[in-house]
Amino acid sequence: MQQKIIILDFGSQTTQLIGRRVRELDTFCEILPYNKFPKDDPAVIGVILSGSPYSVHDPEAFKVDLSQFVGKYPVLGICYGAQFISYANGGKVEQTGTREYGRANLRQFDKENPLFKGFEDDSQVWMSHGDTITAIPSDCHVIASTADVRFAAYASTKYPLWAVQFHPEVFHSTQGTLLLKNFVVDICKSRREWSAASFVDSTVVDLKAQLGDDRVILGLSGGVDSSVCATLLNRAIGKNLTCIFVDHGMLRKNEFKKVMAAYEGLGLNVIGVDASEKFFKDLEGVTDPEKKRKIIGRDFVEVFNAEAKKITDAKWLAQGTIYPDRIESLSITGMTIKSHHNVGGLPKEMKLQLCEPLQWLFKDEVRRVGNQLGMPERLIKRHPFPGPGLAVRILGDITREKVRILQDADDIYIENMHNYTMPDGTSLYDHVWQAGTVLLSTIRSVGVMGDERTYEHPVALRAVTSQDAMTADWAHLPYDFMAKVSNEIINKVKGVNRVCYDISSKPPSTIEWE
């Protein structure tokens, strides 16, 4: 039986990050809404309560019956989780008049407590809360303080229960991973059996049992998730998998041919469909970003369904849905962060069962599984790319000529990124979470080429660093790289006479412009 940590989500923006940190400790975890704790699950070895955007005093604050797990499993409360445990057990949580955000240091902590095993003096932690705990339950004792927060961490003398007002999951808590390791491995006794190799082995067995000799259809996008999903299914059911790769005409330069060749090299049974004429016709004159997305989504379903219907004996539709897709599409606050085309079931007209072999994986885990499956590194390390493709990187209406301009400029940018070697010997491409070029086709700028005046379009280069795309910072690209790319784009791409660089972070900006 596979052990697991349950993470109860109270709406924090960093709940996924807690999950990723636990998985990095080779331990399976499941993120569930705060009120969905699984009863009588023998696989559970510990429980973590996340932070929350609410105060425990808010009328709409999320509250849970702690008796479901306190005293039965080791429990760790983080930020709101720590405050709620105190509040629900006779402690006090108050607004002190000052919000506590940013770096702090543990001035005092109990070095004998298992949660702080191996901690250094003055260990830096990250605070992010408006309320603070001013009194802890009678059966608890303080185990860590900062200069401003007396009850930075506390523990129960009665139950295996710990609580911290800081966020160990974030990068700025320098020994946060050690704290989580102390809890997950030492306190909860994780056997650390979760790995890419174990996932591949167990999933192949499960897929063979689930699918038998049935035929499965999978829509490929050229991205990491669907490619790994296809390779995993191919290992399990071989020729019974049929993949469909739809070219809507707005992929990167020569991408359709390159990706098809890569898929054939993996031994996949792939049907390539060039439907670009239909997409360009239906997008003619459309400038609104949401309308562009909806048209492309509708046309993709129509083209895919028409091709899928030719496979009359298919019983399953496979999708490359990953864990963050499912979490974001089911926001407990009622505010969906991001909708996903591959979440939410099947179109009514498709009489197929759904197969989602990657539904428990985070993006970095998908890449590790791809490595385990022996997939080409260039395919595994591909940056995320929007489903509507370059259509949402062209401001204004879509034409073949605009797509051609953007493809040429983007190809120069991305290839130079692959070819630029960083001091550690890896490529610049591997240091960036996502990079792409935006054509500002609603704008023209004056330029001079030779002795002639030009009046052409600018392009904006975008590159961000991130861990999960929920937040992102603009990448500080080397100046010599940017100079070379700018010069090459302006000299080689007809229709562009100016190159800009986007230095916006997310939030407040999004990674894509549309």
Q: What distance in Å separates the CA atoms of residue 56 and residue 80, rounded to the nearest whole number?
A: 7
The closest of 411, 393, 399, 408 to 495, measured between CA atoms, is: 408
Q: What distance in Å separates the CA atoms of residue 358 and residue 353, rounded to the nearest whole number?
A: 16
Q: Across residues 379-385, what is the average pLDDT?
A: 90
Please spell the DSSP secondary structure of 226-247, one letter per residue.
Answer: HHHHHHHHHHHHGGGEEEEEEE
In the predicted model, is pLDDT for residue 436 greater than 70? yes
Position 335 scores a pLDDT of 39
Model confidence at 98, in pLDDT bands (50, 70, 90)? low
Please spell the DSSP secondary structure of 377-420, one letter per residue.
Answer: HHHHTPPP--TTGGGGGBSS---HHHHHHHHHHHHHHHHHHHHP
pLDDT tens per residue, range 358-375:
999 988 899 999 999 999
Position 327 scores a pLDDT of 67
Helix and strand numbers (H, E) in the chain are 13, 20
More confidently predicted of 341 and 53: 53
Q: What distance in Å separates the CA atoms of residue 221 and residue 283, rounded to the nearest whole number?
A: 20
| Percent of the chain at pLDDT exceeding 70 | 94
pLDDT tens per residue, range 193-233:
999 999 999 999 999 999 999 999 999 988 899 999 999 99
Q: What are phi and psi of 475, to 5 degrees?
A: -80, 135
In the predicted model, is pLDDT for residue 342 greater than 70? no
CB–CB of 176/118 below 8 Å?
A: no
In the predicted model, is pLDDT for residue 508 greater than 80? yes
In the predicted model, is pLDDT for residue 110 greater than 60? yes
Q: What distance in Å separates the CA atoms of residue 62 and residue 322, rounded to the nearest whole number?
A: 26
Q: Across residues 283-309, what is the average pLDDT?
A: 93
Q: How far is CA 58 from the centre of its chain?
A: 30
- Residue 199's H or E segment, with its range, is helix 196-211
Position 507 scores a pLDDT of 82
In the predicted model, is pLDDT for residue 345 greater than 90? no
In the predicted model, is pLDDT for residue 348 greater than 80? no
In the predicted model, is pLDDT for residue 88 greater than 90? yes
Residue given tokens 């998998």 in the structure block: 241
Position 130 scores a pLDDT of 81
Q: Catalogue the active-site residues.
A: 79, 167, 169
Q: Across residues 385-389, what is the average pLDDT?
A: 89
CB–CB of 406/440 below 8 Å?
A: no
Model confidence at 333, in pLDDT bands (50, 70, 90)? very low
pLDDT tens per residue, range 114-148:
999 999 999 999 988 788 999 999 999 999 999 98
Position 329 scores a pLDDT of 47
Indicate the angle between helix axes 196-211 and 224-237, nearest 10 degrees. 60
Burial 222-249 (b: 16+ CB within 10 A, else e): bbbbbbbbbbbbbbbbeebbbbbbbbbb
Q: How far is CA 500 from the centre of its chain?
A: 27
More confidently predicted of 341 and 104: 104
Q: Across residues 259-276, what is the average pLDDT?
A: 93
| Percent of the chain at pLDDT exceeding 90 | 77
More confidently predicted of 171 and 250: 250
In the predicted model, is pLDDT for residue 470 greater than 90? no
Pairing of strands 215-220, 314-318: parallel
In the predicted model, is pLDDT for residue 412 greater than 90? yes
Model confidence at 455, in pLDDT bands (50, 70, 90)? confident
In the predicted model, is pLDDT for residue 112 greater than 70? yes
In the predicted model, is pLDDT for residue 96 greater than 90? no
What's the mean per-residue pLDDT of the chain?
91
Q: Across residues 308-326, what is the average pLDDT?
A: 89
pLDDT tens per residue, range 235-245:
999 999 999 99
